[in-house]
Structure 1
């Protein structure tokens, strides 16, 4: 692949789902996948946001094949309903990008189900959603689950006795980093379990590097950065990039035929910007003992158990 170039993939007939696809990096992941000819399912908490995202994608790519799915990852009943609804209109799922997320909060907040908001949304919501749509992925040959990690996860430490940041004082950015590390550990553990089960489904990871709205191209009728925000962001372009380019790592993990389960993809330059490349994970990301415990704790917290990952049925 040439520098700053997406995989040249024609994906007509395939179906991909992107969580958090109505804004930011998730929007550009969805747009870039739509340009391959694939059917792309956008998830949104509100119909208004879904409509804006669809209009924006079709403004730049009129041929886009799009559907929407109502999903609130901070509400496990919404997660369950979304998975059930997806099964009624999608007969295949070639890939899902677990991208949606809540950023660091100043004060501790909780989800509908009483979990700390950042951890509950970023990790538990995706854990439960992926488990409940897994049968559809399993029934589609060579499907992929791509988890959006973060560079911040490299500096996180996971405390299995306080996953939901219940101890005072509450530290928002530390909580965010732990949630992204939890997602990352889950994705590597999922890869190991899929391999043991000889499943054709693959679990990969990507991270966007440094991504700024103010460095991103305009996508009407989506909101745009102000002139002042663009001017302030220009010096940061040395180490950061627009969210359109930040989407490349996830798109490559989804589409590249040479990518495979257990890989982590991120920007080439300082892990912050540029063409995607494969990265080496930290020891904490691939700790198998912690992963086994986190998996069980996640099932207990969500009340969702993953189906068997072995003996895949194939279309």
Structure 2
């Protein structure tokens, strides 16, 4: 019998070509989002940087074009904390279809006091979760127009030890910034998995995948001036940590694989290979608490009520 040809290992430095594909990256002007954009541009894809800061978005665009000759990259103003603005924010995309959106943007507050958006939502929960929930709804016509679009939600290892309080999703009773951040990322991950279940039930060709970057530090991230500048001192201080974690360029790998690898399937969780903290991307077993369908449904219903939209209802 002829032997089955072996599948070559995923090469993070030579992913499959993305020519002809269009991807939107929220928070694409800095951090992991910037490196997702740079790597997808290098693969030949058209990249749209979603950012609330036009000046930073233009700086990121210039950096990508300087490193990737012929890069097809543009920007769109996107403020995930401003829910009413998202309906019209997708209009400037200027695309007939969208092959993928990477929900990467996030806010992480380190200190009290608790902050709210103009609509009265806790800032991290609103930006990290509710904004992406609503944005997916408004993007669904463009995603559905592609032959096999993907919604990639970037979660966090910080969500692994957190649990949602369905009666206090916005941390009104108890506000601990790091805990509120972890719970907002957990809500994102629940959303990504529940979205895929609803898309499958509706017979949609759009798939939803959840990823996380592991441990990604600025001190281990290569310089991309003026987007990111790593000093010699920071490089030396961060060197010991490289045994356990990695830079934000490597933190981008799971998301890049999630949109470009044809073998990735909806409902999967992808993260770094080594203890979930560093290394090349691999598929992980979905964390036990993320398999709680009841919690996911309650979160979905609450998010639908808070945003006034339902991304699971297809156009």
Match of 1:121 in 2: 127
Match of 2:143 in 1: 137
1:178 and 2:183 correspond: yes
Unaligned runs of 5+ in 1: none
Between 265-274 and 5-14, the greater mean CA deviation after superposition: 5-14
Q: State the shift of 1:130 in Å.
A: 0.8
Q: Is the 8 A contact 1:6 1:248 kept in 2?
A: no
What RMSD over aligned residues (CA atoms) do the two structures have, in Å? 1.4
Cα 1:85–1:233, aligned 2, differ >3 Å: closer, same or farther?
same
> Runs (4+) of structure 1 moved beyond 6 Å?
none
Match of 1:267 in 2: 272
Q: State the shift of 1:287 in Å.
A: 1.1
Q: State the shift of 1:228 in Å.
A: 2.4
Between 2-11 and 191-200, the greater mean CA deviation after superposition: 2-11
3-state DSSP class of the match of 2:223? coil
3-state DSSP class of the match of 2:90? helix
Match of 1:41 in 2: 48
Map 1:103-122; keep pairs closer than 5 Å: 103-107=108-112, 108-122=114-128
Instruction: Give the one of 27, 33, 38 matched to 1:26.
Output: 33
Map 1:135-284; keep pairs closer than 5 Å: 135-168=141-174, 170-284=175-289
Match of 1:306 in 2: 311
TM-score by length of 1: 0.94
Q: Is the 8 A contact 2:17 2:44 kept in 1?
A: yes
Q: State the shift of 1:106 in Å.
A: 1.0
1:129-163: CA deviations, max 9, x gaps? 01111111011110000000111111011001000
User: Hey, what's the Cα distance between the residues in 2 that align with 1:3 and 1:133?
Assistant: 29
User: Hey, what's the Cα distance between the residues in 2 that align with 1:230 and 1:307?
Assistant: 44
Between 183-192 and 102-111, the greater mean CA deviation after superposition: 102-111
Instruction: Give the one of 282, 297, 300 matched to 1:295.
Output: 300
Q: Is the 8 A contact 1:210 1:241 kept in 2?
A: yes
User: Hey, what's the Cα distance between the residues in 1 that align with 2:182 and 2:104?
Assistant: 15
User: Hey, what's the Cα distance between the residues in 2 that align with 1:290 and 1:231?
Assistant: 43
1:265-302: CA deviations, max 9, x gaps? 00001110001100011222121111111111001111
1:105-132: CA deviations, max 9, x gaps? 3111111211001111100010000111
User: Hey, what's the Cα distance between the residues in 1 that align with 2:15 and 2:35?
Assistant: 16
1:50 and 2:57 correspond: yes
User: Hey, what's the Cα distance between the residues in 1 that align with 2:311 and 2:214?
Assistant: 30
Aligned residues: 307
User: Hey, what's the Cα distance between the residues in 1 that align with 2:88 and 2:204?
Assistant: 26
Q: Is the 8 A contact 1:59 1:220 kept in 2?
A: no
User: Hey, what's the Cα distance between the residues in 1 that align with 2:44 and 2:228?
Assistant: 26
